[in-house]
Amino acid sequence: MRESGCKPDGCEMDVGSLSCGYYKIKRVYYVDCGEPGKRSGESTDTAWKRCADDYNCATTCVNNYYKRFSHGCNVAGTCQKMARIHNGGPHGCEKQATIDYWNWVKSCCQCS
């Protein structure tokens, strides 16, 4: 929610692809989290954008993503794992590039 200012602000370009909603969820992330809230006959693109702008659906997606990819993460603390996986993908815990994001989350949210 760092990037969205805690509000559903649609989609914007981010590192070459769209990031949408409360958590700035990318399409591939939505697919990897199990496409929560997708309705019968609905396209993945439509479901992803709608879910990303719905706080409960987007939160479900982030939690599903974390559950799917947190097992190989060997950093201390659930908050750090979640932040770095969310920011850096399935191997986010191993990426130096996610440390700045983690430091921001840590200072903003007082978590460890």
Catalytic residue set: 3, 14
Instruction: Measure the CA–CA gap between 99 and 14, rounded to whole angstroms.
Output: 18
CA distances from 72 to 59, 75, 86 (A): 21, 9, 14
Pairwise CA distance, residues 47 & 64, whole Å: 16
Q: What is the distance between the alpha carbons of residues 23 and 10, in angstroms, rounded to a whole number?
A: 10
